[in-house]
Amino acid sequence: MVELAEQEGMEPVEARKVLGIDVTDQVAVKVEKLDVIYRTSYEKVPTFKSALKRMGKGERVVKEVLALHDVSFEITHGTVLGIVGHNGAGKSTLMRAIAGILPPSAGRIEVHGRISTLLALGVGFNPALSGRENVMLGGLAAGLSREEVNERYQVIADFAELGEFIEMPMRTYSSGMFSRLAFSVAVHMEPDVLIIDEALSAGDAKFKKKAAQKMDELMGQARTMLLVSHALGTIKEMCNDAIWLDHGRLMGRGDPGEMVDAYLHHLDVGDDATAMEDL
């Protein structure tokens, strides 16, 4: 563990010099001493009724979660960063913090360029509205102009292969259609930084292949990517850099193969096929 932590900062700098990039000029994401604390409730559905009941009993259901503590790292444009860690390690929180959805409690995050997100917690869509309307709303919320969304619309719709469904309310969509559209929107927003959280399994085998090709294409254009996946094989294959989180702390940073191995060793599950596929 200590060994790995020592590698932090050392290896990446080395690598970027080999690639001949001026590090300070090319920073994509810089995370400094990041703490994320949030308060959340145990209740499934918080209601006024249950709040009154609790007040009578003097109970509290709000708990404070220290999701990330003292996390620092920096990546340059072109990096495909894999994030590994157990469930609840803080991977998704880190992604949401970088996307600006959950701002830091302490520390600082700097993001250079446009961010696009494809997060696991559901796609930014309203089921009562059509696919077209949802694409427009997502784009406008991301800060694009109406014209910019219109320019991309056809490509997004074609890539998602929804046919006439694009004009139908999204409650009529199958889960595959949902994730295809979400993937298509995220990759076609021309992001400088693309954040993908557990969402690479979009659609059927055919679409998966197409999605993988699109990812390759984006990597070829050296877009910066942050990739969270429990499929460790994907991390090893696609990323050129990785970090390992454990209980909200940064355990190591470096080569994806080494990070995955270190993480597996930590879990003591070994490098068996199941873990590589899905853990």
Partner 1 sequence: MSSTTPTLSANAVERARQSAEVRVFEPHKVGLPPMRRYFKDMWARRSFANELSRAEMRAAQTNTFFGRLWLVINPLLLAAVYFLLVGILSGAALTPTKFAHLLVTLFAFYFVSNCITGGATSVVKGSKLVMNQAFPRALLPMSAVRTALRRFAPTLIVTGAIMVLVHVPLGLGTLMAIPSFLITMVFGAGMAMLFGTLQVYFRDTSAFLPYFVRIWLYLSPVIWTAEDMVGKKFDLPIIKVNPLYPMFVTYNDALIMDKISAPWMWAAASGWALAAFIGGGLYFISREREFSVRL
Region of 155-163, 202-210, 251-259, 260-268 interacting with partner 1 (CB under 8 A): 251-259
Least Å distance, CB 165 to partner 1, is 16
Region of 1-9, 104-112, 201-209, 266-274 interacting with partner 1 (CB under 8 A): 104-112
Q: Is 219 in the site for partner 1 (CB under 8 A)?
A: yes
Cα 76 to Cα 11: distance, rounded to the nearest angstrom: 13
Q: Is 7 in the site for partner 1 (CB under 8 A)?
A: no
C-alpha atoms less than 13 angstroms from C-alpha of 252 in its C-beta half-sphere: 19
Q: Is 53 in the site for partner 1 (CB under 8 A)?
A: no
Q: Which is nearer to partner 1, 42 or 176 (CB)?
A: 42
Q: Is 231 in the site for partner 1 (CB under 8 A)?
A: no
The pair of structure tokens assigned to 14 is 């080395």
Q: Is 150 in the site for partner 1 (CB under 8 A)?
A: no
Contact 123, 178 (CB under 8 A): yes
Cα 90 to Cα 257: distance, rounded to the nearest angstrom: 20
Among 69, 96, 152, 188, binds partner 1 (CB under 8 A): 96
Measured CA distances, 42 to 35, 51, 57, 138, 150 (Å): 22, 12, 16, 30, 42
Q: Which is nearer to partner 1, 58 or 122 (CB)?
A: 122
Q: What is the DSSP letter of 137?
A: H
For partner 1, the binding residues in 22-41 under the rule CB under 8 A are 25-26, 28, 38-41
Contact 239, 227 (CB under 8 A): yes
Q: Which is nearer to partner 1, 47 or 204 (CB)?
A: 47
